[in-house]
Chains A and B, each alone.
Chain A
Amino acid sequence: MAKLHGARIKRQEDPRLITGNGNFTDDIKLPGMVHARVLRSPYAHAKILSIDVSEALEHPGVLAVYTGKDVNPEMQPVPTSWVVPGCNIKPKPRMPLAEEKVHYAGEGVAFVVAEDRYIAKDALEKIKVEYEELPAVTHQEEALKEGAPIVHEDVEGNLAFDWQPAELDDEVFEQAEVVVKQRFYEQRVVPNPMETRGAVAQYNSGGGEMTIWCTSQNPHIHRMVYSEVLGIPESKLRIVAPDVGGGFGAKIGVYTEEALAGYAAKNLKRPVKWIEERSEHFLATNHARDEVIEVELAGNKDGTLTALRVVNTANMGAYLSTMGAGVPTIDFGLMITGAYDIPKAAVRTFGVYTNTTPTDAYRGAGKPEATFQIERAIDLFAHKIGMDVLEIRKKNLVKKEAFPYTNAMGLNYDSGNYQLSLEKALEMANYEELREEQKRLAAEGRLMGIGFSTYVELCGLGPSKVAGAIGFQGGLWENSTVRVHPSGKVAVYTGASPHGQGVKTTFAQVVGEKFGIPIEDIEVYSGDTGSIAMGWGTYGSRTTAVGGGALAIAADRVVDKAKKIAAHELEASPDDIELKDGVFQVKGVPGRQRTFQQIAKSANMAWNLPEGMEPALEAQSFFDPENFVYPFGTHICVVEVDKDTGKVELTRYIAVDDVGRVINPTIVEGQVHGGLAQGIGQALWEGTVYSENGQLLSGTFMDYTMPQADFFPEFETACTETPSPVNPLGAKGVGETGTTASTPAVVNAVMDALKAYGIKDLEMPLTPEKVWSAMQNRRELV
């Protein structure tokens, strides 16, 4: 049988999706189902003086209109799920509906249920809310200033937390030969999966069981939280993530609307569907990034880096959302030294409340921001000492021999060969020739730029004891069950909950390889708390590294048991049985064999099992890895900036990633491409804009530039393979690499192109207008 591990196999997910047979949340239709909509605050900050729902209630077809007064006493608030210790954190759990005050434009004020979605929308217009508008603050630095509007009365100075795990003396920087100081702003972006959020809730008033189908990346976490919020025991609450149309972090979050759908379903004894519109998504689904990052990088004139100090002032929005507090602290702060051997480092993060939509994890979560600041700072350092940006990287990258390597923040990088990916990228780019071309174009008056990003990121979240130590309100192990049916067909259940990553196929390859059976004989199930014991979901590139780890262990357990059955039937010792191409064979005795299917039948019939063995062929693993995994690589971006318009054109993009052992190269490439589009999107086009009084001005796809097909050249990608020692597959995780690496590579390339203008830094997104204006302002320098 051909090897499955490492093979380019077509996705098993696709036949349903390409024929219109997918089953997304909004596709679910239940008998008696009614439709819900949320009335959202038009103000960023206002007192609610009164709400009059009488007219809405009289509107034909309206079943219920709930306000905060109705639901808040009967439900629990939606909690913060990452309570970072040691930083005087002041979480503000969210009540299902705002009652006395609204804290951001888009916060839910009332929840309407009606016979159809059109009537529900009509009813919103019939609710009368009297507001008293208050001064709002949207920018984190403004919010920290004395006299700024206060978002939550009991949080002084709007400071949600102040995290400083270690300090570094000023002396270190005063005595350094060279110090580069720079302030960067990682603008606010919106994850924008193509499917917005949504939920369908159904309640059985006889038994008290509730099912909520929703757009979830982690249904078990949602079950854990909504169980508390709704007061329904976990054993009676089933969360199902059917097909999920992308997540990118936005669907990790615990929100109020999904719980309100559950509340309404219980209250009305009718199934309730709530589906978010895109304009609502912009207002109500967690945003991301929005961090002011101030960097001090110290080193010697020869390019040796000695110390790094970073202060991050992060805009948390109006609430600390699910993972919110962990992103600019743990995820960001512990990765600030990137792929470089910088001996001393310190970080401080201020988490700030503002009158904006809460921020949370988005593809990469903290690692893209960490990578951005160090990759930009290292370029600035090289420019300051007149060194080539490639040479400074070569000089400071962690050496291959140093692994496992402990960085200055105390993280232990599992394995790596950073030089290898760098060399490969240089070779693919034909770097020397590129620099020559740059000179040739410069002579013609054209602005070409080359940008690097040599990165490492923390993925495969991760050991549960670490999760506890850093204040994450959950475990980070993963669960897989492998069930062999009497026919020899296999069902795999995973607690990871994919939403487009091709995990069905990847996992089938892992099991097919172990059992020597075709992947068509394997079905992978995910996303249903009713059939999967427990799990922590899909985010942080953890699915293959952790969930796949559990799967490999469970599959090995099945093989062990199957070998014992085969040995018993063949009257041999289990040690003498080998499994090859789906056949259990007594070593060296041709003909004495049993097929995988025969053993599956034997195990399930249980007519003749070894003494004391339980029937059936099934195994489960709850794998808790000993460490995170650290994918790494080198990206090289080539751009040309139009002198007359400021438009940045990407001419080449080379990505060499090391994601550990690759199970399906095609799926890995697809993940890299998608990640690149999002990271490049942040560098060049995407950005959320608020007006001064907190109105979201970029609230539709007409105002928020989503990357389109003609924005990109063909990506040139490759992998090196440095297996991780911390999971049985040697996998490292790929979902975030493209996003993490690409943003600084693009900005570095644009800055390289603008070098002649003396422009050191520009805030993202690098729109034509911004680049053009900068060039106009610096024209006199050229």
Chain B
Amino acid sequence: MEISMKVNGTEKKSHVEPRMLLVHYLRDELDLTGTHIGCDTSQCGACTVYVDGKSVKSCTTLAVQADGSEVTTVEGLGDMEKLHAIQRGFWEEHGLQCGYCTPGVMMAMAALLRENHDPSESEIREGMKGAICRCTGYQFIVKAVQHAARRLAEEKEEQRLVQSTGEGGVK
């Protein structure tokens, strides 16, 4: 089947078998190997990506289901030139060890922060329900998300200041 989707801002057109999973499409066809497969049953969350802004598990989504959508993977989250706050948080707070589950966990946690700008510890732990990390014991993931929340709040404040200065300032 012919499918097309915008992946991390770039249009992609491909011919795929209807049974191809989105995760295999991203990894094998588009060489976006940041998204990982940790289980076959949607429990672990290592394969989490965004389809039209909504976080989905790409190991149980067919590539054809994402036809016509906008897909974001960890590669589209941020890079070293401009890390997303969640990536920064994971780095600052030792939120990863082997790093295998990390891309999916970061995608899920960035989505959580979109909905809840200031989650409590238990809200973060609750929000991690669809993800399994075998290395960290989760504690530093919680700290990483809190770090990211603070950073996002600061970024927002900076933007607000820039905007208000821009609007009111002398041109």
Q: A-side interface residues toward B, CB under 8 Å?
A: 10-11, 13-24, 26-27, 29, 117-118, 192-196, 243-246, 248, 277-279, 499-502, 666-667, 669-678, 700-702, 706, 708-710, 712, 714-715, 738
Does B139 contact A500, Cβ atoms closer than 8 Å?
no
Does A709 contact B138, Cβ atoms closer than 8 Å?
yes
In-complex Cβ contact of A670 among B73, B78, B122, B140 (8 A) = B140
Prevailing SS type, chain B contact patch: loop
In-complex Cβ contact of B80 among A19, A277, A667 (8 A) = A19
- Closest-by-CB residue of B relative to A677 is B137
Q: What distance in Å separates the Cβ of B29 from its nearest Cβ neighbour in chain A?
A: 11
Q: What distance in Å separates the Cβ of B24 from its nearest Cβ neighbour in chain A?
A: 7
Assuming the contacts A673-B137, A709-B129, A710-B122, asked whether A195 and B38 have C-beta atoms less than 8 A apart, the reply is yes
Does B98 contact A499, Cβ atoms closer than 8 Å?
yes
Assuming the contacts A14-B91, A18-B91, asked whether A738 and B137 have C-beta atoms less than 8 A apart, the reply is yes
Does A117 contact B94, Cβ atoms closer than 8 Å?
no
Mask, B80-122, CB within 8 Å of A = 1, is 1001000100111010111111110010000000000000011
Does A708 contact B98, Cβ atoms closer than 8 Å?
no
Q: For the A-B complex with A245-B36, A245-B101, A706-B44 known, give 15 more contacts whose Cβ atoms are closer than 8 Å.
A: A19-B74, A22-B100, A24-B33, A29-B31, A194-B134, A277-B40, A279-B40, A669-B94, A673-B139, A674-B97, A674-B135, A674-B136, A701-B132, A709-B129, A710-B129
In-complex Cβ contact of B46 among A13, A19, A194, A501 (8 A) = A194
Q: Does chain A have a CB within 8 A of B39?
A: yes
- Closest-by-CB residue of B relative to A15 is B80
Does B41 contact A118, Cβ atoms closer than 8 Å?
no
Q: B-side interface residues toward A, CB under 8 Å?
A: 17, 19-20, 24, 27-28, 31-41, 43-44, 46, 73-75, 77-80, 83, 87, 90-92, 94, 96-103, 106, 121-122, 124-126, 128-129, 131-142
Does A501 contact B38, Cβ atoms closer than 8 Å?
no
Does A194 contact B136, Cβ atoms closer than 8 Å?
no
The contact sample of 29 A-B pairs, CB cut-off 8 A, is A15-B80, A18-B83, A18-B90, A18-B96, A18-B99, A18-B106, A20-B33, A22-B34, A22-B100, A23-B33, A26-B37, A27-B33, A117-B24, A118-B17, A194-B100, A243-B98, A245-B98, A245-B101, A278-B41, A500-B99, A500-B100, A673-B137, A677-B137, A678-B134, A701-B39, A701-B43, A706-B134, A709-B129, A709-B133
Q: Which residues of B contact A23 (CB under 8 A)?
A: 33
Assuming the contacts A20-B74, A194-B132, A709-B124, asked whether A701 and B44 have C-beta atoms less than 8 A apart, the reply is yes
Q: Which residues of B contact A676 (CB under 8 A)?
A: 137
Does A673 contact B75, Cβ atoms closer than 8 Å?
no
Does A20 contact B75, Cβ atoms closer than 8 Å?
yes
Does A674 contact B137, Cβ atoms closer than 8 Å?
yes
Q: Which residues of B contact A706 (CB under 8 A)?
A: 43-44, 132, 134
Assuming the contacts A194-B132, A195-B38, A678-B134, asked whether A709 and B125 have C-beta atoms less than 8 A apart, the reply is yes
Assuming the contacts A20-B73, A27-B33, A278-B40, asked whether A10 and B134 have C-beta atoms less than 8 A apart, the reply is no
Q: Which residues of B contact A678 (CB under 8 A)?
A: 134
Q: What distance in Å separates the Cβ of B30 from its nearest Cβ neighbour in chain A?
A: 12
Does A710 contact B135, Cβ atoms closer than 8 Å?
no
In-complex Cβ contact of B32 among A20, A277, A674, A708 (8 A) = A20
Q: Which residues of A contact B17 (CB under 8 A)?
A: 118
Q: Which residues of B contact A14 (CB under 8 A)?
A: 90-91, 96, 99
Q: Which residues of B contact A196 (CB under 8 A)?
A: 38
